[in-house]
Amino acid sequence: MKPVVVLSSQDPEFCFLLQYILEAEGYAVCLATKPDQVIRLADHPSTHAILLDCLADNLDAICKGLKRGALTGRIPIAALVGANSDRHIDLIEAGIDESLVRPLAPARLLQFLKTGVTSGQQGEDLGRFGSGRTLRQLEIEINLASQSVRCNGQPLDLAPIGFRLLQYFLQFPNVVHSRQSLIAAAWRGTRRVDPRTVDVHIGRLRQALRSLSGYDAIRTVRTAGYMLETRARHSV
């Protein structure tokens, strides 16, 4: 039976992204929007961890219920907080084990799920987001062990942010990624990143790929974000 991660959030896009990441790592995700659902699932033997989105209106009720039921400490519970959140003390008192800052770095989340803590390491050896394997889409190939990229058979030198952006696109092709999800995947820090900065880095990455492939592999989806489109290219 797969370990279950209980996710309490009222943000559909955020839930979809986390569910995609966690299921790729072998977890089952159970969405719970009501406090009594979270509390009930916290006591289930298959529950591996709980993720609480602090943007949810019912966070206080959930925290009080977990504390009242003496469930804290039995399984790891992480609060997903904004960069400027002032609720850290309240969350600690409620029994939260860890605060993970949004936009969320996938490797940091996976480290918490595997160890119950985040030590500040990048977690490069964790699961699908850091294994020593090769990713291939179109003419693009990334070797995660050597941190190298080849496009159309030629080496491509990328800065760390460009590398992580490309890695994320190759891991999830044909999916529209918002700027916030790209920030979470590539910047991996707690500082705020202007969405326009994402556009600049995407432009550089797109230009680098175009110089070797002869076409734009990364497509802009108006008002939504960016995607690496492989289906249309393969069908030509």
d(CA 97, CA 99): 7
- 168-192 pLDDT, tens digit per residue, is 898 888 888 888 888 877 876 546 7
- Do 76 and 159 share a structural domain? no
| Domain at 139, CATH number | 1.10.10.10
Q: Percent helix, strand, coil in the chain (nearest 5)?
A: 40, 20, 40
Does residue 54 sit in the same domain as residue 146? no
Same domain for 105 and 144? no
Last residue of a domain, one of 111, 127, 143: 127
What pLDDT band is residue 17 in, cutting at 50, 70 and 90?
confident
Domain boundary among 127, 149, 173: 127
Residues 103 and 121 occupy one common structural domain: yes
Print burial letters for 114-123: b (CB count within 10 Å at least 16), e (below 16): beeebeeeeb
Domain that holds residue 214: 132-235
Residue 196 sits in the same domain as residue 119: no
* Shared domain check, 219 and 190: yes
Domain count, the chain: 2
Of 127, 156, 172, the last residue of a domain is: 127
Predicted confidence (pLDDT) per residue in 130-166, tens digit: 444 678 888 999 987 777 899 999 999 998 889 989 9
pTM of the complete model beyond 0.75: no
- Are residues 136 and 121 located together in one domain of the fold? no
> Are 177 and 103 part of one and the same domain?
no
110 and 203 housed in the same domain: no
123 and 50 co-located in one domain = yes
The candidate with the shortest Cα–Cα distance to 20, out of 176, 140, 153, is 176
